[in-house]
Amino acid sequence: MTAVLIIMTAFASCKKDKDSKNDDPGGGGGGGGALAINATVVDGNDYNGYIATVKAMMEDDYDDYAIASGKYANGGFKLNLPESVPARYLYSFDYIFEEDFEGTISDRKAKTGDVWIVAYDREDDEIGEFLWTNENEDVWAYYVYVDRNLTIKGHESWYYSYENEYYYTEYDCSFTKGWNILYYVEKGYYEELFTTKKPSGTTLKWYYEDWDWWKKSPSDRQHPFSKMRKVTVN
């Protein structure tokens, strides 16, 4: 499970880089510039020498693309996400949300894309990823790029016949053009929330997860919104 996203403060005339520390880079506002990620990884010194490079990856229909990269050293990494993202790595919210959504999306033509943070060894082979979550793993955070201001308020639910239960997802998101942080919150086994408001009392940290041979390819993924669809409606 996963997802986090805070709206960074926009500077109209003087665009400044924003700094994402280990827990929360700030709050309020939204995009408007490059974004600096400065991450300290839990038990991060254990991976010194094993992880050589860290890249922020996006993808289109054909390939993956590193929009930022940096060295892994001293138990952490630094990445500078660019001010803008090529259009081919973005897709519309019409693609993400289906007819079971009840609520309002201020602009369905708005486009979005997210990054995932991948670890590479000295041979430049992908070996794992970095996750931003809390100790209980019931709150996750993701960096998401949106090409215009956007609000999403509403919910969706679907029936899973195998467990004879309804799943309920709530959305309370206010995106600003540029980079945002999206929070995914597990409110219960059958209930979840996507929000751009950081849950109170939550401490988020960076964790490294190694990719084993049996795990999915790093390119076999979806946007956090659609990725969280645990089940297929029956």
Instruction: Give the pLDDT confidence of 180-218 residue by residue, as tens digits.
Output: 999 999 887 788 999 999 999 889 999 999 987 544 454
Please report the pLDDT score of residue 156 as a whole number.
87
Query: What is the model's pLDDT at position 6?
Result: 25
Residues with Cβ within 8 Å of 62's Cβ and at least 6 positions away in sequence, in order, are: none
**Average pLDDT for the chain:** 78
Query: What span, in angstroms and rounded, lies between the C-alpha atoms of 137 and 202?
Result: 11
- What's the rounded Cα separation, in Å, for the pair 187 and 140? 12
Alpha-carbon span 159 to 146, nearest angstrom: 30
Q: Please, are residues 158 and 169 in contact by the beta-carbon 8 Å criterion?
A: no
> How confident is the model at residue 223, as a pLDDT?
57
State the average pLDDT over residues 67-73: 96
Spatial contact of 204 and 23, defined as CB atoms under 8 Å apart = yes
pLDDT at position 222:
54
Segments making up each domain of the chain, as ranges: 18-227
Q: What is the pLDDT of residues 120-156, one digit of tens each?
A: 999 999 999 999 999 988 999 999 999 999 999 999 8
What gap in Å lies between CA 10 and CA 151, rounded to an integer? 16
Confidence category of residue 230, pLDDT binned at 50, 70, 90: very low
Residue 110 has pLDDT above 80, yes or no: yes
Q: Which of residues 23 and 8 earns the better pLDDT score?
A: 23
Q: Which residues pair with 157 in a beta bridge?
A: 168
Question: Between 67 and 9, whose confidence is greater?
Answer: 67
Instruction: Name the 3-class secondary structure at 224.
Output: helix
- Compute how many other C-beta atoms are within 10 angstroms of the C-beta atom of residue 17: 12
pLDDT at 220: 54
Distance CA 148, CA 87 (A): 12
Residue whose C-alpha is closest to residue 132's, from 81, 204, 225: 204
